[in-house]
Amino acid sequence: MKIPNLPREACKAHIIDKLASGNLISLGQLCDVGCKAYMDKNRAYVIYNDKIILQGRRSKETNGLWEMELPPAPERINAAVDQATLAERIKFIHASLFSPTLHTWAVKKGLKKAIEPSPAVNNTTPHVIPEEENEKEVVDKQPTLVEEEKPNEKQNENESTPEDLRTQNIYVKCEKLTGQCYTDQTGRMTVTSVSGMNSVLVAYDYDSNLIWGVPMPSRTAAQIVKAYKQIYKMLQTKGFKPKLQRLDNECAKELKDFFDEKSIEYQLTPAGKHSRNLAEKAIQTWKDHFIAGLSSTHPNFPVNQWCKLIEQANITLCLLRPSRINPQLSAYAQCFGVFDYQKTPLAPPGMKVLAHVLPKERQSFAPHVIKGFSVGPAMNHYRCFRIFIPDTGGTRISDTLRWFPHNDIRMPIASEDVLLRSAVQLLRKAIKDRLKNQVLPPLEQDNHDTLTDLNELFQNRDKAAKQEPQEKQIETPVASKNVEVPRVQEKETSEVPRVPKTTQQAHSTKLPRVQKPSQEDTTTSKVEALKSRLRRQVHKDQLRRIQEERNTHRARATRQSRRERKSTQKSEFAYVCSTLNLTEEEEELIRQANEREEVLLSACEEEFIKTQFDKHYLNAVLDEETGKLLELRELLKGKDGKRWSEGSYQELSRLHTGCKKRGIKGTNTIEFITPEEIPKGKKGTYARICADFRPQKEDPFRVRITVGGDKVQYEGETYTPTADITTAKVLFNSVLSTPLAKFMNIDIKDFYLETPMNDPEYMWLPRWVVPQEFIDEHDLEGKFQGDRILVRINKGMYGLPQAGRLAYVQLVKHLRLHGYERAGYTPGLFKHKTRGTVFSLVVDDFGVRYTSQDDANHLINALEEKYTITKDFEGKIFLGLHLDWDYKKRIVRITMPDYVKKALAQFQHKFPTHPQHSPHPCAKIKYGEKVQYAKETVPTDMTKEQLTYCQQVIGVFLFYARAIDSTMLPAIGSIAAHMSTSTWREMKQKITHFLDYAATHPDAEIVYKASNMHLWIHTDASYLTEPKARSRAGGYHYFSSKPKLPIHENDPPPPHNHPVFVLCKIIEAVMSSTQESETGGGYMNAKEGLLIRQAAI
């Protein structure tokens, strides 16, 4: 409830649904805020600040209660789009300017011409209601009363105002700049800021009428001189160099020396004559303004961050003050130029926000935003804000924010109705320019006619809208009690416009604002013809273009991005179409016009892409002949189509009930059902079809049907501990260093398919995945719904978010029964309580260290009790690494044959003409130059497809570098670090150089030897070698012999062994010296060494 001139606490209201007698006002609530209530037999009055704000009369109709006469409610158009009113926009601007008082907010001369584009500031005073925070700056002690001079009535009678006459005379006035500047210090702030500031030096420039504050940590001479130098530099650069400085009656010697150095005259104010120093009044003005803004911040805004609000306080105060040189300008515009509100918008100080965190600055599953408070605009950035982050204690600049207003402030956001109409106007202008532009190549006749019809269609609709008469609104008489009721839309009458409820029945009804047309829209036939022509022409053009580019990587990425863009645009039109009541033809035209950049995009291309390149089936096999990635749908049509179809049959049989004829054991993981059998609250997700050629497996043509887990809602735990490649390398060293130890592999078949689930899930399978033989064998023809069939998932299955966790928990319980338990804190590492068996678990692959055949048989028998497994006692392949064991010499050679060859074929990179022996290009040294500056960074110009290409190169070779060839790590890290600051030309050169090195050295290998399993770490660091003044840490972790203690610097180095881990990482913090870089690198290597040492058992 809004009652003018009352505090917000007195206007709080409570809604009671069953209160039928009428609205009640609490006198106790009014008296709690300082009101006085007087009631007699007939009348009642409520007085606040010696003014009558409410009055009423006693009524017999309400059983003797007093009916208070409330102020009339503001008129509202409840059927219109819900958007910010003028009063709400003015309130937002008022808060952004630090909540000035009404006499300051009047904006007589300054703000309107100081801000471009100017906000709506005409006649704003009636929309600003005095708030508590506004009054905190102006409540001062009452001045001493003086006798008022009575005006001379006779003299006033004879006075008359001369009539203004229009003349053509021009008067020129020359203003001489005095160069006067006044400064003084404020008192101590109530709270010292976190930056150590506790007072402010306030400067007042007489010519520009500028008031500017600079925070200071203390009132010492050194700090005052430091703050004054900032003010002097600012005024000098803006053309207002101080010539005469007026000070208080005290001045430090250091400050006088600075005045003499800069040839500035200074004058001191006599003791007790503070009125001569205009800075005293400037301090009062600045303090009042700052207190109002600080009081209007969010209740949770930390007061000890007040120094961060000074910049916005200075800007807003100067925007409200007219310049003395040119009163048509503000003081800010006189010194700094016109304030560009579009470039650097202002927001209320201390407002709570959520600031976006860039992907490179957050963890994978961390929230995308961080809580903070707005502390002012970022003046050197475009449409950015400075945000204080309480969690870090720092301030960051962000352009992507979510605002959470307080104090009943509403953000001035345009409605979607306005945005849509603006888009239609821009589209019309673009069509006109296209039709009138004779420089561009001529269009084809069909396209020309299409655009012409579309342009005429919009013009005719606008003309018809202008000529159509509007119905006059008939006011609905309401009761004399003008009570403002919230605009609430009832669920039962959602289609009825929201209108204020009245206490009496209206005698007349309100007619619709727009008369419905009595005839059908004459443009319907034109729209239908236009749509038909568009479909034919655009479909033909798109099919031809897609057919030409469908085999290229760029075309595939482009199609995917268009699919994603279209899905987001459809959601944007949902609200607009329902609000404007557009016809189907209008919706189709606007949707197509927005989705296509050149002409209009029809749905034909979308259907063609969806059937040919569904994004859920992009799991492909590399064709070694062409270097292209082939999907299962293409593989089924190739030369090995029958073998891939057999792989699909085996996968479906394994998931279903099996096949006795072919010896395929079923797991009863899925069962085929009809759509009517799916329970309420459940939805079927999609299926991802994975095809892979695995020559080391019994059946190399492997097809896996996985569940689209991103559409499955599961609230339980999904984390599954698994070993990494470093743990596997430690295990290899342990095998060589343990007497009589050997290595073997164990693979559990259908590991994820053996875990029952309490709550089944559902999935749709496309028909082309299911072989016709399987359909006939299980009589599934009647269960298909179009080109897909529904399955119920009763057990764990690949892709389900809970499948890995459930299978892992079940396996650990089973292993615990036979004496196997986790080894320390290393994920995926297990050992037996009494035997010497140690193994690492990566999903369903076991890498086992055993010292006797009896120990190996014990683990095998334990697993075979529950699972079907395959064994490899030679241990040739583990995690994609090819292992060549020599137990006599106690060494193992680790390689990844043909990995680089396949990667180069994937990226279609040709073998270099000259061998390249360096993975990364080095900057040429210019000898003789004393200073060699770092290259300036520029924003990247790479497209989305080019960025994806760079990410693919990094991802493919990063695994190979960590596993085998660690010399690639610095180059890969450098490419990743420069992706956002390099052009495509520079990035292409770096990647080509790197691929040339990979092609020159394609078959790297590492060799491990037996040792005492003593971990050695060689740590190093580079200083300021990376962009943004960053340093790089490096480390070489390997196992070797145990040293003799104590260690001396002259002792020989330990025997060489290849590393189990290589650290190559950029240090996040900026190092101030080489010593700091070395210390930071040592700390990072020590952290990694602790984890490696725990895994060495």
- Does the pLDDT value for residue 733 go beyond 70? yes
* CA nearest to 390, candidates 352, 433, 439, 360: 352
| Whole-angstrom distance, CA of residue 362 vs CA of residue 1065 | 16
Provide the pLDDT for residue 417. Answer: 62
| Whole-angstrom distance, CA of residue 775 vs CA of residue 461 | 56
* CA nearest to 892, candidates 755, 1027, 1001, 737: 737
| Whole-angstrom distance, CA of residue 1033 vs CA of residue 1019 | 8
For all residues of the chain together, what is the average pLDDT? Answer: 75
Indicate whether 877 and 976 sit together in one domain.
no
Are 733 and 834 in contact, with CB atoms under 8 Å apart?
Answer: no
- Does the pLDDT value for residue 791 go beyond 50? yes
> Could you tell me where the beta strands, DSSP code E, fall in 732-880?
742-748, 756-766, 788-795, 820-822, 829-832, 838-842, 845-850, 869-872, 877-878
- Mean pLDDT value of segment 620-647: 67
With cut-offs at 50, 70 and 90, classify the pLDDT of residue 519: very low
| Whole-angstrom distance, CA of residue 807 vs CA of residue 481 | 70
| Whole-angstrom distance, CA of residue 607 vs CA of residue 596 | 16
Distance of CA 256 to the CA centre of its chain: 52
How many residues belong to the chain? Answer: 1097
With cut-offs at 50, 70 and 90, classify the pLDDT of residue 447: low
- Does the pLDDT value for residue 543 go beyond 80? no
Provide the pLDDT for residue 778. Answer: 86
Would residue 116 count as lying in a domain?
A: no
- Does the pLDDT value for residue 579 go beyond 60? no
- Does the pLDDT value for residue 599 go beyond 60? no
Provide the pLDDT for residue 415. Answer: 60
With cut-offs at 50, 70 and 90, classify the pLDDT of residue 1068: confident
Indicate whether 249 and 363 sit together in one domain.
yes
| Whole-angstrom distance, CA of residue 310 vs CA of residue 307 | 6
Q: What is the CATH number of the domain that holds 352?
A: 3.30.420.10
Indicate whether 845 and 915 sit together in one domain.
no
Q: What is the rounded end-to-end Cα distance, in angstroms, of the chain?
A: 73
Provide the pLDDT for residue 1007. Answer: 93
> What tokens were used for 81?
């789009």
Indicate whether 886 and 903 sit together in one domain.
no
Range of the domain at 237: 180-404
Q: How does 118-152 read in b/e, with b if 16+ C-beta sit within 10 Å? A: ebebeebeebbbebebbebbeeeeeeeeeeeeeee
> What tokens were used for 456?
């005429």
Give the CA count within 13 Å in the CB-facing half-sphere of 738.
Answer: 19
- Mean pLDDT value of segment 791-813: 86
User: How many CB atoms lie under 10 A from the CB of residue 1048?
Assistant: 7
3-state class (DSSP) for residue 1021: strand
| Whole-angstrom distance, CA of residue 894 vs CA of residue 952 | 24
> What tokens were used for 129?
């209601």
- Mean pLDDT value of segment 175-198: 86
Would residue 133 count as lying in a domain?
A: no
Indicate whether 861 and 964 sit together in one domain.
no
With cut-offs at 50, 70 and 90, classify the pLDDT of residue 353: very high
> What tokens were used for 105?
């907010």
Q: Which of 337, 372, 404 is the last residue of a domain?
A: 404
Q: At a CB cut-off of 8 Å and minimum separation 6, what does 1095 contact?
A: 726, 727, 730, 731, 823, 824, 826, 829
Indicate whether 785 and 909 sit together in one domain.
no
Asked which of 147-151, 812-816, 869-873 is least confident by mean pLDDT, the reply is: 147-151
DSSP for 755-772, please give it. Answer: -EEEEEEEEEEEGGGS-H
Indicate whether 998 and 868 sit together in one domain.
no
* CA nearest to 752, candidates 727, 713, 718, 777: 718
- Mean pLDDT value of segment 382-396: 92
> What tokens were used for 975?
């490419």
- Does the pLDDT value for residue 594 go beyond 50? no
Q: Name the strand (E) or helix (H) holding 185.
A: strand 180-185
- Mean pLDDT value of segment 615-634: 54
- The DSSP output letter for 626 is T
Indicate whether 394 and 271 sit together in one domain.
yes
Provide the pLDDT for residue 313. Answer: 93
DSSP for 396-442, please give it. Answer: EEES-EEEE--TT----PPPHHHHHHHHHHHHHHHHHHHHH-SSSPP
| Whole-angstrom distance, CA of residue 1089 vs CA of residue 1093 | 6
Indicate whether 853 and 912 sit together in one domain.
no
% the chain with pLDDT above 90: 16
| Whole-angstrom distance, CA of residue 69 vs CA of residue 52 | 12
| Whole-angstrom distance, CA of residue 792 vs CA of residue 940 | 48
Indicate whether 651 and 787 sit together in one domain.
yes
Would residue 129 count as lying in a domain?
A: no
> What tokens were used for 562?
């268009």
Backbone angles phi, psi at 954, to 5 degrees: -65, -45
Asked which of 216-230, 262-276, 494-508, 665-679 is least confident by mean pLDDT, the reply is: 494-508
Top mean pLDDT of 191-195, 665-669, 854-858 is at 854-858
Q: What is the pLDDT of residues 750-776, one digit of tens each?
A: 787 778 888 888 899 888 888 888 888
Asked which of 273-277, 332-336, 1026-1030 is least confident by mean pLDDT, the reply is: 273-277
Indicate whether 916 and 801 sit together in one domain.
no
534 compared with 497, residue with greater pLDDT: 534
Would residue 489 count as lying in a domain?
A: no
User: How many CB atoms lie under 10 A from the CB of residue 318?
Assistant: 25
Would residue 634 count as lying in a domain?
A: yes
| Whole-angstrom distance, CA of residue 643 vs CA of residue 701 | 7
Would residue 338 count as lying in a domain?
A: yes
| Whole-angstrom distance, CA of residue 771 vs CA of residue 778 | 11
| Whole-angstrom distance, CA of residue 143 vs CA of residue 206 | 26
Q: Which of 359, 383, 404 is the last residue of a domain?
A: 404
User: How many CB atoms lie under 10 A from the CB of residue 689?
Assistant: 23
Provide the pLDDT for residue 690. Answer: 81
Provide the pLDDT for residue 349. Answer: 93
Q: Which of 46, 68, 90 is the last residue of a domain?
A: 68
Would residue 484 count as lying in a domain?
A: no
- Mean pLDDT value of segment 656-671: 84
Asked which of 569-573, 641-645, 711-715, 1033-1037 is least confident by mean pLDDT, the reply is: 569-573
Would residue 74 count as lying in a domain?
A: no
Are 755 and 810 in contact, with CB atoms under 8 Å apart?
Answer: yes
> What tokens were used for 1056?
């060489």
With cut-offs at 50, 70 and 90, classify the pLDDT of residue 522: very low
Indicate whether 644 and 668 sit together in one domain.
yes
% the chain with pLDDT above 70: 69
> Could you tell me where the beta strands, DSSP code E, fall in 796-914?
820-822, 829-832, 838-842, 845-850, 869-872, 877-878, 881-886, 891-895
Q: What is the pLDDT of residues 14-61, one digit of tens each?
A: 877 666 667 888 888 888 888 888 888 888 888 888 788 888 888 877
Q: Left (φ > 0), alpha (ψ -120 to 50) or beta: where does 47 sit?
A: beta
Q: At a CB cut-off of 8 Å and minimum separation 6, what does 69 contact?
A: 54, 55, 56, 481, 482
With cut-offs at 50, 70 and 90, classify the pLDDT of residue 457: low
Number of compact structural domains in the chain: 4
